[in-house]
Chain A
Amino acid sequence: MKKRWDPKSYKDLPYTPIMDRPTTHNKTGVWRTFRPIIDYEKCTKCYICWKFCPDAAIIIVEEEDRKVEIDYDHCKGCAVCAEECPVKCIKMERER
């Protein structure tokens, strides 16, 4: 197994932070204070949340009958989806 990089101080850091992947690999979801939770009982798959999400953090899962899922690695918890949902099936819960 590849050993996990575990820097102890500034000495272990590279000269400048470099990644071999695009910025979508940055897990910016840690910025979130409120977490959106979808109630699939109520969801009508209208995709309005998907259309409004400013961070493209709502995904349509083709394999699962085109249901919507929240990409918690990138969702910042802005609650635009909850606000726009016409059936109010997205609730915002405080992150712990």
Chain B
Amino acid sequence: MTEVFFTGNRAAAEAAKLVRTQVVAAYPITPQTSAVEYISQFINNGELKANMIRVESEHSALSAVVGASIVGARTFTASSSQGLQLMSEGLYFASGMRLPLVMAIANRTLSMPVNIWADHQDSMVNRDSGWMQIYCANAQEVFDNILQAYKIAEEVLMPAMVCYDGFIVSHVAERMEIIDQEQTDMFLPEPDLTKRPLMDPKNPLQFGEVVYPDWYPDYEYKKHKALLDSPKAIMDVGREYGELFGRSYGMVENYKTDDAEIVFMGLGSLTSTTQWVVNDLRDCGSKVGLSKIRVFRPFPDKEIVEACKNAKVIAVIDRDIGYGTSGMLFPDVTRALYPLASRPKCLNFIIGLGGKDITPETIKNIHETCEKALEGKEVETVNWPDARKYD
């Protein structure tokens, strides 16, 4: 165990090195670029024995790691924003072929207007691609989650995205701990290649075979079921990681939610700010809590229900927007809570789009709206507290 001062991108690269990634293919895009530059350096100075495939686009980057994974390699790629959008087609190939890929996403919004800063639009619009999605609030979590993502993906045979906010996490250096090579090898041995079909050039097979309508739903259900059943692996790996290295992980981190009347819910770095505000509000006597969603796919229904058991108002904070409806976390939360006999009031707050700073004041503003709802006053369901209003 070594104490270091790393950015999120450096932490991602370090984790990819420690898992002994064999094939890396990526295309540079802000704010992901430096993650892959670090890996390039590791390969150049002999710290990592891997093939870096130089590609002309993100579409090819993902296709290259898909190909490498089919022959059994452990792979790594990373992207952001428009780059992830260009990969979109391949995302479904990877999950449909049940390849245990791991990809780092330095979250950035989607154009237009052009903007390079953080929000969750890029990964959120790909939430239904069959990839597991793990969100990180700081560089330490990026490191821990990437190591765990390999173990989880290779267990359930579904690919995983590890998402962290562009610049806020990707470029900010923090004190954190890394584990050494020996510890990593113990935690994550070489992949068991007998678990899945592999391509052997001497005995060629056709992957991605056509399936006719009669059996298509069954294949879709098989994928869906793999993600539905994956929380067991996610929890087991999170617990094991904690036993070995001192930091345990679950699907959701519920903070002071047991007696909370108002529960904030969100993912990514905004949860750190929110946690700070929760402490502040608790000092002032408000019964508030935070449900920090670590795993967004598969969706943690059980933990969300647990977090809301005594709550009267739920503030679902989305750093993304489904144009014409609500944020993209909101519908999943309301779906999970709908069957409850006494449902809390669910409000949605769209904040921090395109890198707009999320300050404690933003969260306190959300809290004020929740207080109004708690008093029974009428409030809008989908709120934009940090956008200017002209009407």
Residue of A nearest to B196 (CB): A15
Q: How many residues of B contact A (CB 8 A)?
A: 22
* Contact yes or no, B210 A16, CB < 8 A: no
* Contact yes or no, A20 B205, CB < 8 A: yes
CB-CB < 8 A to A23: which residues of B?
206, 210
Contact string against A for B residues 196-213, beta-carbon threshold 8 Å, 1 for contact and 0 otherwise? 110000011111111110
Chain A facing B: main interface SS: loop
* Contact yes or no, B206 A19, CB < 8 A: yes
* Contact yes or no, B225 A16, CB < 8 A: no
Per the 8 Å Cβ criterion, residues 91-110 of B in contact with A are 96-98
Contact string against A for B residues 178-215, beta-carbon threshold 8 Å, 1 for contact and 0 otherwise? 00000000000000000011000001111111111001
Q: Which of B96, B206, B215, B225 contacts A22 (CB 8 A)?
A: B206
Residue of A nearest to B93 (CB): A16
Within the complex, the shortest CB–CB distance from A22 to chain B, in Å, comes to 7
Q: Which of B98, B203, B215 contacts A16 (CB 8 A)?
A: B98
B283 at the A interface (CB under 8 A): no
Complex Cα gap A17–B221 (Å): 14
A13 at the B interface (CB under 8 A): yes
* Contact yes or no, B210 A26, CB < 8 A: yes
* Contact yes or no, A16 B97, CB < 8 A: yes
A80 at the B interface (CB under 8 A): no
Per the 8 Å Cβ criterion, residues 196-251 of B in contact with A are 196-197, 203-212, 215, 218-219, 221-222, 225
Going nearest first, the 3 A-B pairs with the smallest beta carbon separation are A17-B209, A15-B98, A10-B222
In the complex, 11 of the A-B residue pairs with CB atoms within 8 angstroms, ordered by the A residue number, are A9-B218, A10-B218, A10-B221, A10-B222, A15-B196, A16-B97, A17-B209, A20-B204, A20-B206, A22-B206, A26-B209
